[in-house]
Amino acid sequence: MDNEQIKKAIEELKKQTKKRNFSQSYDLIINLKNLDTKQHPVDFFAGLHFPFGKKVKVAAFVDQALKEQADKFCDLTIEENDFPKYSDKKEMKKLAESYDYFIAQAPLMPKVAKAFGKVFGMKGKMPNPKLGCVVPPNANLDVLVKKLNQSVKLVAKKATNLQCMVGKEDQKEEEVIDNILTVYQAVLKQVPNEMQNIKSVLLKLTMSKAVKV
C-alpha cells in the first residue's frame, strides 16, 4: 500500500459522498486473514505523526508533585483523598467510561490498582505503562497528553478486523495519508506474517460506504 493508492481511495470517497454540514471522519479498516485472533489477539496502540480529529479525554491520578500540571493539561485530576467518591461501582464505571485514558503517578499506582483495578481492568482503562501512562513525579504531562491525542487503539480479540479513526475531512490530505500509512505499518509489525496476514484495507467516511485502498 502506498500514497497513490490512498489518494485514489480518498478521491473515490469524495466523489461518492454527499457534502454534509459537519466534517466527517476518515476510518481505516484492516481485515486480517490466516490468523486466529482468539489464540493470538491483536491489541496495541499506534502513535501517529498528526492528530486524527478527536480530542481525547484524559484523567490523572496524582499527588501534589503533579497536581498543578494535571489541572492544566488533563481533563480531570484525581487525588488520593478523592478515591472514596468513586467507591460506588456505578460511579466507578461512569468514570471509566467518561475518559479515554488514565494517567497515574507511579508511587500511587498500587493504591489506584487496589481501588479501581477490578472495574478499570475489565474495561481496559487501567493506566498503561506501555503507553507511558504510569509516570514519575517529575513527568511532563503536556508532552504525554499530546502523545495520547495522537495515539489510536487497535484491537482484534475475536473478530478479524481492526478499525480506527485516522483523520477528518477538513484536515490536510497529506496528514491523513501519513496517518493511514503509519497505522498500516504498525499493524504489519503486530501480526506474525506481515502482509500475508492482511486480507484487505478499506477506507470510509462517517456517512459513506467503505472503498478498497
In this structure, the answer to whether residues 180 and 197 fall within a common structural domain is yes
Per-residue pLDDT tens, the chain, 213 aa: give them.
889 999 999 999 988 888 888 999 999 999 999 999 998 899 999 999 998 988 899 999 999 999 999 999 999 999 999 999 999 999 999 999 999 999 999 999 999 999 999 999 999 899 999 899 999 999 999 999 999 999 998 999 888 999 999 999 999 999 999 999 999 999 999 999 999 999 999 999 998 999 999
101: which strand partners? Answer: 58
User: What count of other Cβ atoms lies within 10 Å of the Cβ of residue 140?
Assistant: 12
Give the per-residue pLDDT at 152: 92
Residue 143 sits in a domain of what CATH number?
Answer: 3.40.50.790
Pairing of the two strands 42-47 and 198-205: unpaired
In this structure, the answer to whether residues 131 and 93 fall within a common structural domain is yes
CA–CA separation, 10 and 171 (whole Å): 12
In this structure, the answer to whether residues 160 and 106 fall within a common structural domain is no
DSSP letter assigned to residue 89: H
Residue 93, CA distances (Å) to 86, 118, 139, 201 in order: 9, 10, 27, 34
Of 112, 130, 148, which marks where a domain is finished? Answer: 148
How far apart, in Å, do the first and last CA atoms of the chain sit?
Answer: 8
Residue 38 sits in a domain of what CATH number?
Answer: 3.30.190.20
- Cβ 208 vs Cβ 20: under 8 Å: no
46: which strand partners? Answer: 152
In this structure, the answer to whether residues 109 and 44 fall within a common structural domain is no
Give the per-residue pLDDT at 18: 81
Of 100, 127, 148, which marks where a domain is finished? Answer: 148
Pairing of the two strands 101-105 and 58-61: parallel
Backbone angles phi, psi at 194, to 5 degrees: 45, -120
Which three cell numbers mark 106?
507511579
Give the per-residue pLDDT at 165: 95
In this structure, the answer to whether residues 158 and 179 fall within a common structural domain is yes
CA–CA separation, 189 and 58 (whole Å): 27
Which residues constitute the domain of residue 136?
A: 58-148
In this structure, the answer to whether residues 19 and 65 fall within a common structural domain is no
